[in-house]
Structure 1
Amino acid sequence: MCEPVSESNFGSMLEAKEPVQSVLPTFEVKLTTPGYILDGQVAVDITVSARYVFDKPVRGVFYAKVGVLGFDGEIDIKLKKSGQMLATGLGHFRINMEDLGENWFAESEGRRLYLEVSVLESASGRSGNVSDISTKFVQSPYQFKWDRTVRWFKKGLPYEIKVDLAYPNGKAASRVNVEVSATGIMNDGQEQVLFGEQRQNGENRPTLSTTNNRGQVNFRIYVPSDCQTIQIQVKFKHLEQIVGNMPNLCFIALKETKLQTVGNKWEGACSTPSR
């Protein structure tokens, strides 16, 4: 026989629940900015991207604040921009450098461009925000490191120059043409141009190359047996800097050369070993 269903059991089976509220889809806002701003630059273009989590474009309007982030962390807002988000989910605006002030570069060098952007979705009125401080005001579009380069050389043997190239925001500078030249100071004080190490066919290895996807480039030069010091010069497109003097370790008792800046040069600072 079937057991009758009690009221209490029946009531629990019909327990009421609150209606589930629908959640509007969220979206993400991103900025595409230049890696650096150079002296004499006229303007920079900024792209705003807004897409839903399911990768559909957001329609609406954007509002942007443009300023300069100081060394002390303070933000100086210079101007405001606004515009429409296109059907592609993209918006664009241009910053004219003169709008940052008459002496904008002198006042901003070494500091960062500050961007704060809000996108207001037209369908629901919801907003998404993003800020960016990745763009720096700099004199040079590249930064280089010599951590992989040994700070000495052996007379009569090849010497390898290893350079790591990056943009001011720290990202690796790939596919950049780099040329290296080296001058040796001989025992008699005369200067001599040093060429790339010779291949088996007698040709010198090229001293012009392109950085890889990690921003790295290597060169090998031949060092004469009567060479005391090497001065290395690296050239980029429209950019030239002298970056190092490498004294021969035979004269500094295998001590690492410490580099110090003298004007726009890097010079080796080492001491003669005691005997």
Structure 2
Amino acid sequence: SFMSACFSREVLSAPNLLRVETTEVIFVEVQDYVQEDAIPVQIKAMNYPMKTKALASTSVTLNKANNFQSFGKIQIEATDFSKDPNRKQFVYLQAQFPNKLLEKIVLVSFQSGYIFIQTDKSIYSPNSNVMYRIFAVSPGMEPQTNAVVDTEIVTPEGVTVQSDWNTLRAGLGYSSYRLPEVVSFGVWKIVAKFRKTPQESFTFEFEVKEYVLHSFEVTLTPGSPFFYVDSEDLTVNIKAISNFGEAVDGTAYVLFGVVQDGRKKSFPDSLQKIKILEGDGVARLTREQITQTFPNIAELVGSSIFVAVSVLTKNGGAEMVESELGGIKIASYPYTILFRRTPKFFKPGMPLDVTVEVVNPDDSPAPGVTVVVDPGNMEAVTSENGIARFSINSFQSSQAVFIGAKTKDPKIPAIRQAFASMTARPYKTKSNSYLYMSLDSAEVELGGTIKVDLFVGRQEREHRYITYLILSRGQLVKHGRYQMSGQMLMRQSLPVTKEMLPSFRIIAYYHPNSEEVVADSVWVDVKDSCMGSLSLEPVRPAAFYAYRSSFSLKITADPEATVGLVAIDKSVSALNRKHRLTQKKIWDMVEEYDPGCTAGGGEDGMHVFYDAGLLMETGTVPGTPSRTDFQCPTSSRRKRATTLR
């Protein structure tokens, strides 16, 4: 009977934020169970604090065939909760085993999916029609069929001028708004909410201004994304290309300046006239041109340089196109070092994987930079993504360890090299037991394989199994168990599937005894890509298409996919490229809602789960702390803003 398995350990784990209107995956298992009997487990979500109503329930059976571990799926309805966005609401999550009830109080999230909005243009003039398409998906990135989405059009002054709603078909909806003749210029917003969960909103932007369409486009590209205080000059490449892809000849009038405290001030000495030949020209801002207006460049650190260019051409008639580039930061140091992907805790006697990010002043990756890390005086060169990885040999210390990193760029004086430090603290364990995970790569690709090394201490070699969970987008997507077989090191391979986009966490754990859970976790970034496939090509390719003529496109996509198309005037898109919906913006928003807070690891076994965004309860060991906030502490947050610009 189940009663006879006196050393078996029941386990309950789930996301520590349970989303309403979402299929949530709950993990249950029994470890070290030596009998053959199947074990029924009832999983429930109960109302809090009264515990008088089952909000959702399911049952699973643990048996030898599934290694006595399984996922159960439940869905909590939004109608059981208040719609007050400022009120924190909870449920009891229960797993009823034959002999034991495991229970946790869990914070409820009203982020029941993602809404993305695509406008037909990124810039509009007065009295034009703003057409937009609504995409809505579940946390699992499946289309939200029959979902009702409410939208509002909001002016730059914050005034709502239209409220609308859409019942989506296959996750898609459409709407429009006619701008009046007299209209506020600036950045407008479309605010979207799921009707069932209005507590969470999604914001998207478009620009309104008077504009004139031109026959050619001017693109400005800085030679460097920043101006370093010791630099002698800054170059900006000017490219003038017609809407049909032909190079344009003409003259460029250029003026540089600085944006300081939100105000623009030009450098009068930088005014210059440049020939544009075969579409190309180069403007140059010198150090002297800056010091004529600001003798002490150091006072401008933190401000940004802008360049305004007007290109006059006589190709087929005189025409002038203006373009401006800003945001070129003035910086004291060319690089910044970050430890955002390095765990803050180490296991005594085991290596610590240190991941150093080197970024330019505009936060772009800095590849090819030599970095020196102490202790160990180890050197490595950053890759294309600005990352250098080190493995610091074991610390036997039970005290905190200071880790320092500095750049070693021969072109920069020692006083200008970047330096950063962090303190790693020892993992806390009652039984001197440890588990350490290491990866063969910092970034993986969809369809690839990641190799995971698991190290255990000498005392743990007799324990038979390590359980692992994979968490992505706040949902459990995979579970499994590794047999230890007495060795200290195990190497396992995991395939990277679409459920793991755009990043995922691996959490591994075991019980060294009845009083402790030993765990470790790693965060893995997946290279941005589509979850499915899509290609577009003309049925009959041609060099050009006649005005008002029609042509056919061949669309290849996954079976039963719904594809939305939009035709964009190239001369309009050239005026504003900020507000386009891109794959990167989609994954950035998804990452923002990741409930995990750190790059991996934790203070002790239960904090490994908590920091990864999971709850854990075993009945014999005190479980994870109860989560009371949707957001992570600012110091540990590595995500980006949600607004799509």
The two structures share one fold, judged by TM-score above 0.5: yes
Q: What residue is the counterpart of 2:391 in the other structure?
A: 220
**1:37-79, CA deviations, whole angstroms, 9 ceiling, x for partnerless residues?**
11222222222111112221111100112100113x2100112
In 2, distance between residues paired with 1:247 and 1:70? Answer: 41
Q: Which moved more, 1:75-84 or 1:94-103?
A: 94-103
Deviation string, structure 1 residues 161-215 (Cα, Å, up to 9, x no partner)? 1122221122222232222222xxxxxxxxxxx47xxxxxxxxxxx322222222
- Report the Cα offset of residue 234 of structure 1: 1.6
Pairing of 1:193-204 with structure 2 (within 5 A): 194=376
Is 1:159 the counterpart of 2:352? The answer is yes
Match 1:168 to one of 358, 361, 367: 361
- In 1: Cα distance, 2:326 partner to 2:310 partner: 15
What are the residue-to-residue correspondences of 1:107-146 with 2, within 5 Å? 107-123=299-315, 124-146=317-339
May I ask how many residue pairs the two structures share in their alignment? Answer: 212
**How far apart in 2 are the matches of 1:225 and 1:243?**
20
Q: Distance in 2 between matches of 1:250 and 1:98?
A: 57
Q: Structure 1, residues 223-244: CA drift from partner, whole Å, max 9, x if none? A: 2313523222222214241422
**2:221 maps to 1:28:** no
**1:63 corresponds to which of 243, 248, 253:** 253
Asked if the contact 1:70/1:111 (under 8 Å) is kept, the reply is yes
Q: 1:169 to 1:93 in 2, by over 3 A?
A: same
SS of equivalent to 2:247: coil
With over 3 angstroms needed to count, the CA separation of the structure-2 counterparts of 1:136 and 1:25, relative to structure 1, is closer
Q: Percent identity?
A: 23
SS at match of 1:65: strand
Q: Matched residue of 2:346: which SS?
A: coil
Rate the CA distance shift 1:48–1:104 in 2: closer, same or farther, 3 A.
farther
The answer on 1:248 being equivalent to 2:422 is no
What residue in structure 1 maps to residue 298 of structure 2?
A: 106
Query: Does the C-alpha gap of structure 1 residues 92 and 111 become closer, same or farther in structure 2, counting only changes over 3 Å?
Result: same
What is the Cα deviation at residue 103 of structure 1? Answer: 2.7
Residues 61 and 122, structure 1, Cα contact 8 Å, conserved in 2: no
In the aligned structure 2, how far is the partner of 1:150 from the partner of 1:109?
A: 32
Are residues 1:84 and 2:255 paired?
A: no
Gaps of 5+ in 1: 1-23, 183-193, 196-206, 261-275
Instruction: Mark the runs of 5 or more structure 2 residues left unpaired by the alignment.
Output: 1-212, 430-601, 612-632, 636-645
- 1: CA distance, partners of 2:320 / 2:356: 44
Which one scores higher on RCO, CA 8 angstroms, separation ≥ 6?
1
Aligned to 2:107: none
Paired residues of 2:214 and 2:321 also in contact (CA < 8 A): no
Letter in 1 for 2:352: Y
Aligned-pair Cα RMSD in Å: 2.7
Deviation at 1:216, TM superposition (A): 1.8
Q: Are residues 25 and 46 of structure 1, via their aligned partners in 2, closer, same or farther at CA, if it must alter by over 3 Å?
A: closer
> 2:400 aligned to 225, 229, 238, which one?
229
